[in-house]
């Protein structure tokens, strides 16, 4: 499958949905990462979903990269509970450098 350049897409922090989530809107579809923001400044990434029509095109990875940039900017401590996020961090350890909450690893 052809990978696309998703870098110009804007990450939307949707705090209005029943579950807080980061979203990318593409081709009338929504890809998202659900999260929980805890009081101790920790952010738990719990679930990632990419529409079937956009799978395998690098959108999920681009969305994780944008979410990690946001987390770094806000100085949150990351807890990657979502398996897709954990695999991304294993493949790109530099992306999560300094973000993981103490006691957590991938």
pLDDT one-digit tens code per residue, 24-66: 999 899 999 999 999 889 999 999 999 999 999 999 999 999 9
Beta-strand ranges (E) seen in the chain are 12-14, 21-26, 29-37, 42-49, 77-80
**Could you tell me the pTM of the whole model?**
0.92
Please check whether residue 27 is in contact with residue 54, taking contact to mean a CB–CB distance below 8 angstroms: yes
Q: Which residue has the higher pLDDT, 4 or 65?
A: 65
- Domains contained in the chain, CATH given: 12-96 (3.40.630.30)
Listed in sequence order, the DSSP H helices in 1-106 are 59-74, 83-91
pLDDT band of residue 10 (cuts 50, 70, 90) is very high
**If you average pLDDT over every residue of the chain, what do you get?**
93
């Amino acid at each position: 499958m052809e990978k696309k350049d998703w870098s110009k897409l804007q990450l939307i922090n949707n705090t209005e949905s029943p579950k807080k989530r980061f979203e990318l809107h593409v081709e009338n579809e929504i890809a998202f990462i659900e999260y929980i923001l805890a009081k101790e400044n920790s952010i738990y990434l719990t679930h990632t979903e990419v529409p079937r029509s956009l799978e395998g095109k690098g959108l999920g990875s681009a969305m994780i990269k944008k979410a990690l940039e946001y987390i770094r900017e806000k100085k949150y401590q990351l807890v990657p509970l979502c398996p897709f996020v954990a695999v991304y961090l294993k493949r790109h350890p530099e992306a999560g450098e300094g973000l993981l909450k103490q006691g957590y690893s991938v």
